[in-house]
Amino acid sequence: MWHWGLALMGLLLLAAAAPAAAGEGQVEVNRPRSPFECDTPIGEQWYGSTARCLDELCAGFNVTNEWFFVGDDKRRRRNPCYGRNPTSFDGQ
Protein backbone atom coordinates (compact mmCIF):
# COMPACT_ATOMS: atom_id res chain seq x y z
CA MET A 1 0.00 0.00 0.00
CA TRP A 2 2.85 2.39 0.69
CA HIS A 3 4.01 1.96 -2.95
CA TRP A 4 0.81 3.68 -4.12
CA GLY A 5 1.40 6.53 -1.72
CA LEU A 6 4.96 6.91 -2.94
CA ALA A 7 3.84 6.82 -6.57
CA LEU A 8 1.13 9.40 -5.88
CA MET A 9 3.64 11.68 -4.15
CA GLY A 10 5.99 11.39 -7.13
CA LEU A 11 3.19 12.31 -9.55
CA LEU A 12 2.26 15.31 -7.42
CA LEU A 13 5.85 16.51 -7.41
CA LEU A 14 6.07 16.18 -11.20
CA ALA A 15 2.78 18.02 -11.66
CA ALA A 16 3.94 20.83 -9.38
CA ALA A 17 7.24 21.19 -11.26
CA ALA A 18 5.67 21.27 -14.76
CA PRO A 19 3.98 24.72 -14.53
CA ALA A 20 7.17 26.27 -13.17
CA ALA A 21 9.15 25.00 -16.13
CA ALA A 22 6.51 26.19 -18.59
CA GLY A 23 6.37 29.67 -17.04
CA GLU A 24 10.08 30.37 -17.28
CA GLY A 25 11.28 32.98 -19.78
CA GLN A 26 12.45 31.99 -23.20
CA VAL A 27 16.14 31.85 -23.94
CA GLU A 28 17.03 34.30 -26.67
CA VAL A 29 19.83 32.42 -28.35
CA ASN A 30 20.06 34.55 -31.49
CA ARG A 31 19.93 37.96 -29.82
CA PRO A 32 23.06 40.12 -30.16
CA ARG A 33 24.79 40.47 -26.80
CA SER A 34 27.07 43.41 -27.55
CA PRO A 35 27.24 46.39 -29.94
CA PHE A 36 30.04 44.58 -31.78
CA GLU A 37 27.42 42.17 -33.17
CA CYS A 38 25.12 44.87 -34.59
CA ASP A 39 26.64 44.81 -38.07
CA THR A 40 26.18 41.05 -38.39
CA PRO A 41 23.12 39.47 -40.04
CA ILE A 42 21.86 38.38 -36.62
CA GLY A 43 21.91 41.95 -35.31
CA GLU A 44 20.10 43.25 -38.37
CA GLN A 45 17.50 40.47 -38.22
CA TRP A 46 16.82 40.92 -34.51
CA TYR A 47 16.51 44.72 -34.46
CA GLY A 48 15.62 45.41 -38.10
CA SER A 49 18.71 47.51 -38.85
CA THR A 50 22.24 48.15 -37.66
CA ALA A 51 21.30 51.65 -36.48
CA ARG A 52 18.42 50.40 -34.29
CA CYS A 53 20.64 47.68 -32.85
CA LEU A 54 23.27 50.26 -31.94
CA ASP A 55 20.59 52.53 -30.43
CA GLU A 56 19.48 49.70 -28.15
CA LEU A 57 22.85 48.22 -27.21
CA CYS A 58 24.89 51.43 -26.86
CA ALA A 59 22.75 52.73 -24.01
CA GLY A 60 25.06 52.93 -21.00
CA PHE A 61 28.05 51.92 -23.11
CA ASN A 62 31.27 53.89 -23.60
CA VAL A 63 30.60 56.38 -26.42
CA THR A 64 33.63 58.64 -25.95
CA ASN A 65 36.58 56.39 -26.84
CA GLU A 66 37.06 55.57 -30.51
CA TRP A 67 39.24 52.52 -29.80
CA PHE A 68 39.31 49.79 -27.13
CA PHE A 69 42.07 47.48 -26.04
CA VAL A 70 40.34 44.16 -25.38
CA GLY A 71 41.21 40.60 -24.57
CA ASP A 72 44.24 39.06 -22.97
CA ASP A 73 46.42 40.12 -25.88
CA LYS A 74 45.18 43.74 -25.59
CA ARG A 75 44.36 43.99 -29.28
CA ARG A 76 42.95 47.27 -30.50
CA ARG A 77 39.30 47.23 -31.55
CA ARG A 78 37.10 50.01 -32.94
CA ASN A 79 34.24 51.06 -30.65
CA PRO A 80 30.94 50.69 -32.55
CA CYS A 81 29.27 53.17 -30.16
CA TYR A 82 31.84 55.93 -30.63
CA GLY A 83 30.23 59.30 -31.30
CA ARG A 84 26.66 58.09 -30.66
CA ASN A 85 24.35 59.80 -28.22
CA PRO A 86 23.08 57.07 -25.87
CA THR A 87 20.08 59.17 -24.84
CA SER A 88 18.73 59.92 -28.34
CA PHE A 89 16.88 56.65 -28.93
CA ASP A 90 13.69 57.38 -30.87
CA GLY A 91 12.00 54.03 -30.24
CA GLN A 92 11.34 53.12 -33.88
pLDDT tens-place string over residues 18-64 = 544 555 565 667 789 889 899 999 999 999 999 999 988 888 888 88
Q: Residue 67: which domain range?
A: 30-84
How far CA 7 is from CA of 1, 14, 15, 30, in Å, comes to: 10, 11, 12, 41
* 90 inside domain: no
* 4 inside domain: no
* 16 inside domain: no
pLDDT band for position 78 (50/70/90)? very high
pLDDT band for position 67 (50/70/90)? very high
Distance separating alpha carbons of residues 18 and 39, to the nearest angstrom: 39
End-to-end CA distance of the chain: 64
pLDDT at 71: 80
What average pLDDT does the segment 77-88 reach?
A: 84
